[in-house]
């Protein structure tokens, strides 16, 4: 769990670091992994991350001509899906705090021919540079756990939603007890090994495994969303709770 800003420290994996240092360290992780990020996602999840993202896209309710925002969108999986949903008269904005990841996402969207209805903006999830009530749907996929001030990010994402708009948070969560021993063994042994062999970076993938354990569980995140002013909040567990999709609305 993230600590109180006034205490001066927060979590970076299993380490305690100064509050203002986490963003810099996270940036270093994603600078390191950007070039192999998509390949590693496929290897780490045996491709199941694509199913999780398709499920999330199936919840957006987006219609042609609407506006959507993908926060901490990295290489653009969710942004690409939403761009197809809103069509050429709609708009999707892909944001990430990390320039290396954002560049990968921009290039990928161009490669897929998604250029007329997509914008790319480098932005911090905690203070999004958009006017109130701009978007019909906001998504954040596997990004919230890397944010220093998660409560501020949730409030910022709610602020930019139109009345009736929906926030979707796709994130690793806490699996059912029967899966935990196997999941822990995989996370702390296989993931760092894959990171070393494929991406040449064991430490970054050890951090990613640790950051999942420090992320709030399903019920805690639900309460945080309600505290941020979102309504009708609920979540869907996927793959035994290894991943959850939380959703809430601004009314």
How does pLDDT run across 67-105, given as a tens digit for each residue? 999 999 988 999 999 999 999 999 999 999 999 999 999
Q: What is the pLDDT of residue 138?
A: 99
Residues 224, 237: Cα–Cα separation, whole Å: 17
- Using the predicted structure, report yes or no on whether residue 249 has a pLDDT greater than 70: yes
Q: Which domains, from first to last, does the chain contain?
A: 49-176+217-249 (3.40.50.150)
For range 103-128, the mean pLDDT = 95
Q: What is the pLDDT of residue 82?
A: 98
- Residue partners of 192: CB distance under 8 A and separation at least 6: 202, 203, 205, 206, 209
> Each residue of 33-75: pLDDT tens digit?
778 778 778 888 888 999 999 999 999 999 999 999 999 998 8
Residues 220, 224: Cα–Cα separation, whole Å: 6
Least confident of 24-33, 77-86, 113-122, 125-134: 24-33
> Each residue of 158-179: pLDDT tens digit?
999 999 999 999 999 999 999 9
Burial class (CB in 10 A: 0-12, 13-18, 19+), 210: middle
**Residue indicated by tokens 């996927």:** 238
What pTM value is reported for the model? 0.92
| Angle subtended at Cα 34 by Cα 32 and Cα 39, rounded to the nearest 5 degrees | 115
Model confidence at 26, pLDDT cuts 50, 70, 90, reads confident
Q: What is the pLDDT of residue 5?
A: 55
How many Cβ atoms sit within 10 Å of the Cβ of residue 157?
A: 29
For range 28-36, the mean pLDDT = 79
**Residue indicated by tokens 């690409």:** 80
Q: What is the pLDDT of residue 2?
A: 47
HEC assignment per residue over the chain: CCCCHHHCEEEECCEEEEHHHHHHHHHHHHHHHHHHHHHHHHHHHCCHHHHHHHHHHCCCCCCCCCEEEEECCCCCHHHHHHHHHHCCCCEEEEEECCHHHHHHHHHHHHHCCCCCCEEEEECCHHHCCCCCCCEEEEEEECCHHHCCCHHHHHHHHHHCEEEEEEEEEEEECCCCHHHHHHHHHHHHHHHHHHHHHHHCCHHHHHHHHHHHHHCCCHHHHHHHHHHCCCEEEEEEEEHHHCEEEEEEECC
User: Residue 87: which of 118, 42, 108 has the closest Cα?
Assistant: 118
Q: What is the pLDDT of residue 7?
A: 59
> Each residue of 176-232: pLDDT tens digit?
999 999 999 999 998 888 888 887 888 888 888 899 999 999 999 999 999 999 999
For range 134-145, the mean pLDDT = 97
More confident residue, 107 or 44: 107
Mean pLDDT of the chain: 92
Q: What is the pLDDT of residue 208?
A: 83
């Amino acid at each position: 769990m993230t600590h109180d800003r006034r205490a001066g420290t927060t979590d970076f994996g299993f380490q305690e670091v100064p509050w203002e240092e986490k963003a810099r360290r996270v940036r270093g992780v994603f600078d390191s992994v950007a070039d192999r990020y998509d390949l590693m996602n496929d290897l780490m999840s045996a491709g199941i991350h694509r199913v999780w993202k398709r499920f999330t896209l199936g919840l957006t309710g987006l219609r042609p001509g609407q506006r959507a925002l993908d926060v901490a969108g990295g290489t653009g999986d969710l942004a690409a899906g939403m761009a197809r949903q809103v069509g050429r008269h709609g708009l999707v904005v892909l944001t990430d705090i990390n320039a290396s990841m954002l560049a990968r996402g921009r290039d990928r969207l161009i490669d897929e021919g998604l250029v007329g209805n997509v914008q790319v903006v480098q932005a911090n999830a905690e203070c999004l540079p958009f006017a109130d009530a701009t978007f019909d749907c906001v998504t954040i996929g596997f990004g919230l756990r890397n944010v220093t001030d998660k409560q501020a990010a949730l409030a910022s994402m709610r602020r930019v939603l139109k009345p009736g708009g929906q926030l979707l948070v796709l994130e690793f969560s806490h699996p059912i007890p029967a899966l935990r021993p196997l999941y822990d063994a995989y996370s702390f042994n296989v993931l760092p090994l894959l990171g070393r062999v494929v991406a040449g970076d064991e430490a970054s993938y050890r951090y990613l495994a640790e950051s999942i354990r420090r992320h709030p569980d399903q019920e805690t995140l639900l309460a945080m969303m309600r505290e941020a002013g979102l309504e009708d909040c609920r979540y869907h567990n996927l793959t035994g709770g290894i991943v959850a999709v939380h959703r809430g609305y601004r009314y």
